[in-house]
Chain A
């Protein structure tokens, strides 16, 4: 079936480092990809919607200069956490919606656990 690959799965780095997370749809084209953040015991909070070839749409309260999103192709979106600080430590998950635009199914990556020291 359709698969979304997210890399890396776990990152530990020092404060001030920029970290790039990749999200790839492996066997389908994804016009739209979504980036979520999950804190412990909380829901998945939508950060931004990424559309191929255009600027990402950020949710209220999410700093676009802090969380840079690039959707360069129909199979790849990247999230870069710039100058990461301990409060950015979280579980980041991407999802991709097939090009048909149908709601179902929306496939998720396995997430990236980001730990900032």
Chain B
């Protein structure tokens, strides 16, 4: 049972445009959500996170939006750059010292 779902396996965006990556979750106990970026043969790198008490968190070109009623979050990257091309994983966790639950990832390709 996939508790965290990223339904788009891939996304192509032109350089300078906005990239929107989506993530849905089913576990209502999740209260913290994170986005990681992963290059081939490397471990995931933390990008940005959001607590369930917020609906938006912004860090430079990256913004995460959380819609708790829809159990949906999204990562916006603007403007997109070729160096953003990677696999992006959405992750979530309930309260406490518990493991992250990951989605299957979305491969973003930013075309120059």
Contact = CB atoms under 8 A, between A and B. Distances in A.
Interface of A: 4, 6, 9, 31-32, 34, 36, 41-44, 46, 49, 93, 95, 97, 101, 103-111, 113
B32 A103 contact: yes
B16 interface: no
Contacts of B41: 9, 110-111, 113
Interface of B: 4, 9, 32, 34, 36, 41-46, 49, 89, 93, 97, 99-105
B62 to A, nearest CB: 14
Given A101-B97, A107-B46, 18 more contacts: A6-B43, A34-B99, A41-B104, A43-B104, A44-B102, A46-B99, A46-B101, A95-B100, A103-B34, A103-B49, A103-B100, A106-B46, A108-B43, A108-B45, A109-B43, A110-B41, A110-B43, A111-B43
A106 B9 CA distance: 24
Top 9 nearest A-B pairs (CB, nearest first) are: A108-B43, A43-B104, A44-B102, A43-B102, A110-B43, A105-B46, A108-B44, A103-B32, A110-B42
